[in-house]
Amino acid sequence: ALERGDPALAAERARAAAAGAEAQRARAAGRPEFSVQFAYQRTAGAFPDRYMWGASMSLPWLHRADHAAVTRQAAETQAGAQSTLEQLQLDQRYRLTAALLSVRNDEQMLRLDEGGVLPQARAAAAAALVAYTTGQAGLESYLQAWNSELTLDRQYWQTVADHETALAAVTELTGVAHD
């Protein structure tokens, strides 16, 4: 799924395929070519029919240095395109791995926050408020507990946002929607 829907990857694959075809054409241009032609022309009854024969031969080894340079350039272009394609694939795999790790870590943090840290901070703030209203504690202790609750709540929602961002990255890279 990682490599199916990405337009950048598809474009790079097409570029690598075109470079491969060009390299193949460059290698094929170094082979000698022979051709034979025959033509027949039927003329009017008073004139004799015409027959023509022809042969041609191309010997590319007479221009070996030029052909070697073209072949080398095509091979280098193909190798560069293949390298770029592999780098793009590795980059996407790295991004997917990083996003999946982020999703897993964020889910663990959210379970911890929801299961104990946030309820405990809320209970501590509520207890500090009760202690303040009954005169057993000062306003400063309540404000500290309330600030701690708000800080943990802000961290919780930041983790939720990071989790959703990582899920969106996984969906973008794989094309598969996640919950």
Residues 174, 96: contact at Cβ < 8 Å? yes
> Would you say the pTM of this structure is higher than 0.85?
no
23-63 per-position pLDDT tens digit: 888 877 777 778 888 888 888 778 888 888 888 887 776 66
111-141 per-position pLDDT tens digit: 999 999 999 999 999 999 999 999 999 999 9
Joined tokens for residue 61: 């080894």
Taking the CA of residue 1 as centre, how many other CA atoms within 13 Å lie in the half-sphere pointing to its CB? 9
pLDDT at res. 54:
87
Neighbours of 176 (CB within 10 A): 10
In degrees and rounded to multiples of 5, residue 33 shows phi and psi of -120, 135
Reported as a pLDDT band with limits 50, 70 and 90, residue 164 is very high
